[in-house]
């Protein structure tokens, strides 16, 4: 395919690779989805290797910074101050962007944002766009909205390209294809590149340099012929109207300079008041995410510049549940997130089940609190996510902006329980808690319950309790519960230590 050719449709009539079928259905609750992740031995090995490598790199570069904890505290303070006055900063950002020559659009939700994007692309007469890696465009399902409108959206980040060509879904905030190994990537390139553009070279091996070279060649024609690009933004500086994208490959720089039209979708929590505030985050983010001392590419642009880069610049400021999170005095702390993925890389649950189990573009510990904040706790997947954690607290220690993730998980669990109570769902659990409260409230009750349970230990000749029916099955189907002892602790103490016995 040459630089002047238009995208062609595949055998299914699509312009771009179809996402996996399971993404078109309601997501399974985390406990069900996690079982599939645990059964995927190749994925588990890939994740163990990748997260271990990133953790080690982060630890090395963080140890080099004597005032790392001060930087974390500064990042926390800046984000908290910004969120307290977010309404004012957003007005300032809009004024600065407009003054710089950009057109500002406000989107209440995903449908609003996608409608604006489709209309803007159609107004150019183009049938395809290239993309900078963007979590927020994944969040709103932009690629599929463009596909339905007859517009092809091409991922240009290497990992996102792997995911797109593999008919896959991102499983990590920073490294979307972390669940794939080099052999799988080679097969994806060999089978799919030729369907959607320049094919992979003959004899492509698993060597990283060859795989990257194949991706570079495949993307080159798309960069040269595409006149519209879509980006997100890591940060948006209110006082100047400057948007910032940090990346490691240079594809972002290509997207931000070559096209004639640039559309940037920015979550409203990305705003920073001043350029001075940006300094703190440009030190925190690379060390926490890729384990680098600085970003290989940091692109900053303030509206269009005559004769240089895109001349038609649009910025879509997206809510999509963020004001709901902001209204929660405790839950709003999740909006400090700068999408570094440090919490994913250290989480023992994520490392074993992978990102797809979370049913969202935001997986891992931050996803377990951010998704319920943005989407509510009404559907099965979101109400299950706060329980997708052992509450070990490791994520608290690595978060560069000191989000108390384990505390927020407990907070979200409380919201889920209150939602169940409000709808009078799952009456068994409250009844069990009420019975436990009665037992624990008086030592006589506890002693009587212990004596009664010890009878079962005497009568049943088993060492562990296997799967039980009914409501107890969710606990016992994956755990071997020890059989209650034939003698309670009180009985043992009286027999062996109590002088009055």
Which residue ranges make up each domain of the chain? 65-320, 443-498
Could you say which DSSP state residue 132 is in? -
pTM for this prediction = 0.88
Determine the distance from the C-alpha atom of residue 234 to the mean position of all C-alpha atoms in its chain, rounded to a whole number: 14
Q: What is the pLDDT of residues 362-393, one digit of tens each?
A: 999 999 999 999 999 888 999 999 999 999 99
Q: How far apart are CA 174 and CA 295, in angstroms?
A: 13
Per DSSP bridges, beta strands 271-272 and 297-301 are unpaired
15, pLDDT greater than 50: yes
Q: What is the CA radius of gyration of the chain?
A: 26
- Is the per-residue pLDDT at 20 higher than 90? no
Per-residue pLDDT, 64: 96
- HSE at residue 57, side-chain half, CA atoms within 13 A, is 17
Higher pLDDT, 409 or 11: 409
* Average pLDDT across the chain, whole number: 92
Does domain 65-320 sit in CATH 3.40.50.10420? yes
Separation CA 272–CA 282 (nearest Å):
12
Q: Is 17 exposed, middle or buried (0-12, 13-18, 19+ CB in 10 A)?
A: buried
178 beta partners:
none
Query: Which DSSP string do the residues of 334-355 spell out, in sequence order?
Result: GGG-----HHHHH-HHHHHH-G
Q: According to the model, what pLDDT value does residue 1 have?
A: 47
pLDDT attached to residue 83: 97
pLDDT digit string, tens, across residues 245-300: 999 999 999 999 999 999 999 999 999 999 999 999 999 999 999 999 999 999 99
Angle formed by the axes of helices 275-289 and 41-63, nearest 10°: 130
pLDDT digits (tens, 9 = 90+) for 474-490: 777 777 778 778 888 88
pLDDT in tens, 174-231: 999 999 999 999 999 999 999 999 999 999 999 999 999 999 999 999 999 999 999 9
Lowest mean pLDDT across 65-79, 267-281, 411-425: 411-425
pLDDT value of position 492: 86
């Amino acid at each position: 395919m040459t630089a002047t050719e238009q995208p062609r449709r595949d055998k299914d009539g699509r312009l771009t690779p179809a996402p996996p079928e399971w993404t078109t259905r309601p997501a399974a609750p985390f406990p069900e989805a996690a079982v599939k992740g645990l059964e995927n031995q190749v994925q588990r090995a890939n994740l163990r290797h990748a997260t271990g490598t990133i953790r080690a790199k982060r630890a090395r570069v963080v140890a080099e910074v004597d005032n790392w904890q001060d930087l974390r505290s500064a990042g926390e303070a800046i984000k908290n101050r910004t969120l307290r006055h977010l309404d004012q900063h957003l007005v300032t950002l809009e004024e600065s962007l407009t003054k710089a020559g950009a057109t500002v659009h406000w989107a209440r939700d995903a449908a609003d944002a996608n409608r604006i994007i489709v209309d803007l692309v159609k107004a150019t007469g183009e049938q395809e766009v290239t993309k900078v890696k963007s979590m927020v465009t994944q969040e709103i399902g932009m690629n599929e909205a463009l596909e339905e409108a007859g517009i092809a959206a091409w991922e240009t980040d290497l990992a996102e390209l792997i995911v797109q060509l593999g008919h896959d879904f991102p499983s990590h905030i920073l490294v979307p294809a972390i669940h794939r190994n080099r052999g799988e990537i080679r097969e994806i390139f060999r089978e799919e590149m030729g369907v959607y553009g320049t094919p992979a070279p003959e004899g492509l091996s698993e060597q990283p340099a060859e795989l990257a070279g194949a991706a570079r060649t495949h993307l080159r024609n798309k960069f040269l012929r595409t006149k519209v690009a879509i980006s997100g933004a890591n940060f948006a500086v209110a006082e100047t109207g400057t948007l910032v994208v940090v990346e490691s490959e240079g594809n972002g720089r290509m997207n931000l300079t070559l096209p004639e039209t640039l559309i940037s979708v920015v979550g409203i929590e990305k705003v920073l008041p001043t350029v001075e505030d940006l300094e703190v985050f440009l030190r925190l983010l690379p060390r926490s995410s890729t384990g680098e001392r600085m970003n290989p590419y940091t692109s900053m642009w303030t509206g269009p510049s005559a004769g240089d880069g895109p001349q038609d610049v649009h910025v879509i400021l997206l809510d999509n549940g963020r004001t709901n999170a902001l209204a929660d005095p405790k839950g709003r702390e999740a909006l400090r997130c700068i999408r570094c993925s440090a919490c994913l890389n250290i989480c023992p649950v994520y490392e074993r089940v992978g990102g797809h189990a979370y049913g969202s573009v935001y997986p891992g510990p931050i996803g377990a609190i951010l998704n319920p904040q943005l989407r509510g706790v009404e559907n099965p997947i979101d109400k299950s996510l706060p329980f997708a954690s052992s509450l070990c607290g490791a994520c608290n220690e690595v978060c560069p902006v000191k989000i108390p993730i384990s505390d927020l998980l407990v907070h979200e669990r409380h919201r889920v329980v209150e939602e169940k109570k409000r709808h009078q769902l799952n009456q068994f659990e409250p009844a069990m808690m009420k019975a436990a409260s009665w037992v624990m409230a008086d030592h006589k009750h506890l002693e009587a319950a212990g004596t009664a349970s010890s009878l079962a230990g005497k009568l049943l000749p088993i060492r562990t309790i296997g799967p039980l029916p009914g409501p107890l099955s969710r606990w016992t189907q994956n755990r071997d519960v020890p059989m209650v002892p034939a003698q309670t602790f009180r009985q043992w103490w009286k027999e062996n230590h109590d002088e009055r016995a």
